[in-house]
Structure 1
């Protein structure tokens, strides 16, 4: 991205942030609209409704980044949006307001290290899927979990730049199969650039050269059970985080559960990946 483009994106980000800080009504209105689209509330994105689908979380607020995504849906029609942040390629948490069905599908992907968001993180390039129903062979381990997404088309865009690396992934989905055309890709790429500017504006950079996406430095993160579980296990056993993440993913793969579900078992004291073979009761 050129210097002129960077200034334009940062200028847009500053305007969005100024409006968000001046009034909470815009966020409350967007939150009501989002809650209406998702159809109700629950305490965890992993819960399901009476028809077997994921239910929306109780939303007290949504992030300015997700508010911006909802506005973009008027230009590039999509039914669901989520922004997941990452640190050194390891998922941290989704931003508040992210679609619960997408969040669950993302969690499943990172549990088996396979899927469109994982590819977007690893390659730094957008992954466009016109019809997820035809892609089970492309991601067999993800399909093997047996809880394939109910939505049909998906686009995953890395939120990144050469100077920062990949901070996360913007994912949008449509409930029906439909290709994302060149104009859609252009707009969503620009949106990912703007999301990066917003996140950098609101993230306190550490001493390292690369900004951190740790939960305590990024506002509007959903509660992150995985980070809590990793902290508990690292303090208990003195084991490096990379090893703990690998262990969680291995058990998730074998048991068909997700990393998030296993982390909840750790936090609740029902399971320890270094002491027990199964993923908790």
Structure 2
């Protein structure tokens, strides 16, 4: 049975690649997996250094937005699947449990018409490479057979991602894909904020995320403001003994266009 499933999975991946007339790649595996369970789309986040996971691929614009949303908010099934190294299966994002677990992400994704999310780690032993997210517009858990098939797709994606040859199956190509420019801008902005607040890149990214959420802005818009030097952040805490900065405000005065708490130059 396992051999049959494995053969079926690889046949479906090859079929997607043949539609493009291209060599089999991680992209094709994500598309094939999404189709196999009639998902609305799939997204992939990965890491090169075992630390920060970042979105690297999405099958469609909505999935791309949802991958960026998890990265912006710093919460969601993808984050939990990576931290716990186990699948996180959410049959209803509007459930009380999901809203308690992800108070920002759950309602935001529900507003976009997604009902169920399945986050599957891509790991082999101690090597944790990333997480695949599958988004559905209908509720309910995966059946036992669907879950087994998704896990087989995850193994195939891991195998393709670890290939280091010519073509577009390797990690370098994934990290140079659609998300590359935005990812580079986020890192650059985080570096600037880290210098402004005297903190690490990780803490600076958390401040950027918190600010974007508090101002109801996309992380990319906040990053653009930082890079254009229209928005600066101040160190945590105040020297005058006032209440400490909770990371959602970054200065004593309001800025234009709703940039409250930012220091605008």
Which TM-score applies when normalising by structure 2? 0.67
Q: Distance in 1 between matches of 2:159 and 2:109?
A: 37
Q: Mark the CA change 1:233 to 1:252 in structure 2 (over 3 Å): closer, same or farther.
A: closer
The corresponding residue for 2:148 is: 186
Q: Which has the higher contact order (CA 8 A, sep 6+)?
A: 1
- Unaligned regions of 5+ residues in structure 1, if any? 31-61, 205-211
Question: Secondary structure of the residue that 1:158 maps to in structure 2?
Answer: strand
The corresponding residue for 2:158 is: 196
Question: Secondary structure of the residue that 2:59 maps to in structure 1?
Answer: coil
Q: Answer yes or no: is the 8 Å Cα contact 1:233–1:239 preserved in 2.
A: no
Q: Mark the CA change 1:89 to 1:180 in structure 2 (over 3 Å): closer, same or farther.
A: farther
- Unaligned regions of 5+ residues in structure 2, if any? 236-249, 252-258
Q: Distance in 2 between matches of 1:128 and 1:113?
A: 18
Where in structure 2 are the equivalents of 1:20-99 lying within 5 Å?
26=18, 28=20, 64-86=25-47, 87-95=49-57, 97-99=58-60
Q: Mark the CA change 1:104 to 1:63 in structure 2 (over 3 Å): closer, same or farther.
A: farther
Q: Mark the CA change 1:88 to 1:163 in structure 2 (over 3 Å): closer, same or farther.
A: closer
Q: Mark the CA change 1:155 to 1:274 in structure 2 (over 3 Å): closer, same or farther.
A: same
Deviation, 1:230, is 2.0
The corresponding residue for 2:73 is: 112
Question: Secondary structure of the residue that 1:101 maps to in structure 2?
Answer: helix
The corresponding residue for 1:230 is: 187
State which structure, 1 or 2, has the greater radius of gyration over its C-alpha atoms.
2
Q: How many residues align?
A: 226
Q: Answer yes or no: is the 8 Å Cα contact 1:126–1:157 preserved in 2.
A: yes
The corresponding residue for 2:213 is: 253
RMSD (Å) for aligned C-alpha atoms: 4.0
Which TM-score applies when normalising by structure 1? 0.64
Q: Does 1:129 align with 2:90?
A: yes
